[in-house]
Amino acid sequence: MSDSIFGIHGQALVFQSQRMGILASNIANADTPNFKARDLSFRDALQAAAGQGSAGQPLALAHNQPGQLSGTAENGGAQELYRIPDQPALDGNTVDMDRERVRFTENAVSYQTTLSFLNSRIKGINSALTGQ
């Protein structure tokens, strides 16, 4: 029901909030030795949302026995991947502060965009319901 109303934006909101948490962890650990920066792939999440995940990207739990719980993959269907560093640091840390900050800001803007899409959808439904 909610999927048909909001389309892909509901899943996009989940994905963007998960990604924001991961980017926040990267920035928080900018000075931690041996910390490896992580990220989510938007492409994987989009494919998972469109129901055609690539191999090794579980979309949902398999459901072939009665009584099994259904569930959906965390992170909006995208796996957490390690970032490939531009230049290695001697302490094993792979966080590039500039890149992480840019991605965090970019992700925050995407989140707000998704929110405004959802808002206009809700407004549209509201005006259809009230008929004014």
Which residues are at the interface with other proteins (CB under 8 A)? 13, 17-18, 20-22, 24-25, 27-35, 74-75, 97, 101, 104-105, 108, 111-112, 115, 118-119, 122-123, 126
Residue nearer to other proteins on the CB measure, 1 or 62: 1
- Least separation in angstroms between residue 112's CB and other proteins is 7
Q: Are 18 and 113 in contact (CB under 8 A)?
A: no
Which H/E stretch holds residue 46? helix 42-49
- Least separation in angstroms between residue 66's CB and other proteins is 31
- Least separation in angstroms between residue 64's CB and other proteins is 29
CA pair distance 40, 52, nearest whole angstrom: 17
Q: What share of the chain is helix, strand, coil (3-state, %, to 5)?
A: 55, 5, 40
| φ, ψ dihedrals at 50, nearest 5° | -85, 0
Residue nearer to other proteins on the CB measure, 41 or 75: 75
Residue nearer to other proteins on the CB measure, 52 or 120: 120
